[in-house]
Amino acid sequence: MRKFHSYEEVDKDVHYYVSRHELIDRAYNSLIGDTPEKGGHYITVWGPRQSGKTWVMREVVRQLQAQQPEFEVAILSLQSARSGSTDEKILKLLVTQLKIGFKRDFPIINDWEQLPTLFTSDYFDKPVILILDEFDSMGTEHINQFATEFRHIYISRQNEVNQPTGQKTYLLHSLALIGVRSVLGIENKSGSPFNIQRSLPIPHLTFAEVDSMFHWYERESGQTVHQEVIDRVFHETQGQPGLVGWLGEQLTEDQFNKDTSKPIDMALFNQVYGAALYVLPNNNILNLISKARQEPYKQVVLELFNTKKIPFSYDNPISNYLYLNGVISWEQEDTESYYTRFPCPFVQRRLFNAFTDDMFSNIGQLYPPFTDLSQVITADTLNVKNLMRVYEQYLQKNRHWLLTDAPVRKDLRIYEAVYHFNLYSYLQAFFRQWKGRVYPEFPTGNGQIDLLITYQGQQYGLEVKSFSDDSSYREGLTQSIRYGKRLGLKEVVMVTFIEQVSDEIRQKYEAPHLDNATGITVLPVFVESMSK
């Protein structure tokens, strides 16, 4: 029986997969060319890590080899170029890969100007379609050197306008460069020498594609997968192929799925999801978190957790780097407005956990000894608004050491997200003592944080905000109502962080807000981060 798969190439004979015919056809047609006799296109194939770039292009190679015998086709890996520090080593690697891919000898070359000679009739009898995987394993200098020579080949072929593709001086009919970051000179301050290519981004899987793999598993195994589980897998991953395959592995294999006579239900999903958050290793996620922790990229991630909209552009090298390493994505608001967001709830949750642990592994004493909590919590009741008062006192009392090493913005003010991390840490510790649970939720991907508390069989919702102006405060009330409606709650506490606030403002803004249409009451409460 087939298996879900999350690392290296998907094998169509043994793994669940989706055909991605449209994407494969686009790459195939680009490499063949609009008018094949004149030549094909030089393209870049790119996307975040584990998006299926290499698999798509290997399928293209198989299709070309089966249907286009008039071309010589090969896909070569330049991954070993990571350790190549000199021109000689990089060029030697290329020649070695050409020998392996085309099964013939090529001469060692010592300088870049000799590279085009490898694609002449001295070594090939047919036009060549070449795909270079892991192209951006090299440093920028070597990427630009390759791009310069490939551009030279392309232009030389274009100049031989009256010669068919198989009779041109250089027989490199078409070229595909695969990488996780752009190879178009974004990191080259002097501009790109390779501006004749087409771009082929590799998108994530659609819901229909994810859904089809799990139903394929149902047909082969005879084990039912509840639709709610499939929906949740897609929601948490947003179709990121590596994560879909990884959760699919955990859900269907015997580490968690011990009794295949029972359906894969939400109880099993929750068990797998909890393990995925805390104890199951995933190299892609660990790499992603490592990238997000580094400066200057950390600043963007922290700003994104502040719930404010951050413009997105591939021209921005920080955004470009974070996107292609799977840390962020983007969303379109209108025809000319694109904003940064997290790529999926699972990645956002892992980043949230990582930053929370980094900053608040020790949060100190939650409240003074002998504090009367009878108006906050009892054996069977919880007053979240009063709990926020206790937390506010904790924050003000311990701020002097708690936030000493907290990251600050350029204006030297602490990132607002730091307070959200601290609140989550505090509530985790608080409910650990009272045998309750707190879960962060990220409904929009743009930093908005909801906290769900479960205590004694009851659910309590918290919408967490940072105050900026009256308009955003009113918008927060609307979001809180939507949150309460989704959870089926009659009350939601909207927690708003603010540095200082007067008693008059508290009295005005902390009044309960009843939404007549839904019957949901929002209980606003300010958390003043600085004592007066």
pLDDT number for residue 188: 47
What is the residue type of 64? L
Confidence class for position 186, pLDDT limits 50, 70, 90:
very low
Among residues 182, 201, 220, the one where a domain terminates is 201
pLDDT number for residue 80: 87
**Mean pLDDT across the chain, nearest whole number?**
91
Q: Are residues 91 and 130 in the same domain?
A: yes
User: Does pLDDT of 240 surpass 50?
Assistant: yes
User: Does pLDDT of 88 surpass 60?
Assistant: yes
Q: Are residues 179 and 265 in the same domain?
A: no
Measured in whole angstroms, the distance separating CA 527 from the mean position of its chain's CA atoms is 31
Q: What percent of the chain has a predicted confidence (pLDDT) above 70?
A: 95
pLDDT number for residue 198: 77
Q: Which residue has the higher pLDDT, 190 or 457?
A: 457
Q: Are residues 128 and 29 in the same domain?
A: yes
Q: Are residues 237 and 179 in the same domain?
A: no
Task: Over range 271-299, report the average pLDDT.
Answer: 94
For the record, the structure tokens of 348 come out as 């956002």
pLDDT number for residue 225: 98
Name the residue among 127, 112, 115, 118 with its Cα closest to residue 160: 127
Q: Are residues 137 and 161 in the same domain?
A: yes
196 Cβ contact list (under 8 Å, min separation 6): 42, 151, 154, 155
Q: Characterize 214-249 residue by residue with b for buried, 16 or more Cβ atoms within 10 angstroms of its Cβ, and e for exposed.
A: beebeeeeeeebbeebbebbbebbbbbbbbbbbbbb
Confidence class for position 359, pLDDT limits 50, 70, 90:
very high
Q: Which residue has the higher pLDDT, 315 or 257?
A: 257
Whole-angstrom Cα distance, residue 351 to residue 359? 12
- Cα angle for residues 238, 59, 41 (degrees, 5° grid): 95
- Cα angle for residues 495, 497, 498 (degrees, 5° grid): 140
Secondary structure E strands in 116-240: 128-133, 172-179, 198-201
**131 contacts 61 by C-beta, under 8 angstroms:** yes
Distance of CA 93 to CAs 117, 175, 178, 297, Å? 16, 18, 17, 32
User: Does pLDDT of 469 surpass 90?
Assistant: no
Please state the domain count of the chain. Answer: 3
Among residues 169, 186, 201, the one where a domain terminates is 201
Task: Over range 44-66, report the average pLDDT.
Answer: 91
Say if 306 falls within a structural domain.
no
Secondary structure element (H or E) that encloses residue 475, with its range: helix 470-487
pLDDT number for residue 117: 97
pLDDT number for residue 485: 92
Say if 523 falls within a structural domain.
yes
Lowest mean pLDDT among 137-141, 233-237, 366-370, 458-462: 137-141
User: Does pLDDT of 447 surpass 80?
Assistant: no
User: Does pLDDT of 241 surpass 70?
Assistant: yes
Most confident of 43-52, 447-456, 479-488: 479-488
Say if 508 falls within a structural domain.
yes
pLDDT number for residue 378: 96
pLDDT number for residue 365: 95
Task: Over range 461-484, report the average pLDDT.
Answer: 89
Task: Over range 30-58, report the average pLDDT.
Answer: 91
pLDDT digits (tens, 9 = 90+) for 313-345: 888 889 888 988 899 998 888 888 899 999 999
Q: Are residues 276 and 143 in the same domain?
A: no
Number of helical (H) and strand (E) elements in the chain, helices listed first: 16, 13
Among residues 254, 280, 306, the one where a domain terminates is 280
User: Does pLDDT of 82 surpass 50?
Assistant: yes
Q: Are residues 70 and 190 in the same domain?
A: yes
User: Does pLDDT of 493 surpass 60?
Assistant: yes
User: Does pLDDT of 445 surpass 70?
Assistant: no
Task: Over range 189-210, report the average pLDDT.
Answer: 76
What is the extent of the structural domain holding 271? 207-280
pLDDT number for residue 411: 81
User: Does pLDDT of 401 surpass 80?
Assistant: yes
CATH of the domain at 155: 3.40.50.300
User: Does pLDDT of 307 surpass 90?
Assistant: no
Q: Are residues 230 and 368 in the same domain?
A: no
Q: Are residues 272 and 393 in the same domain?
A: no
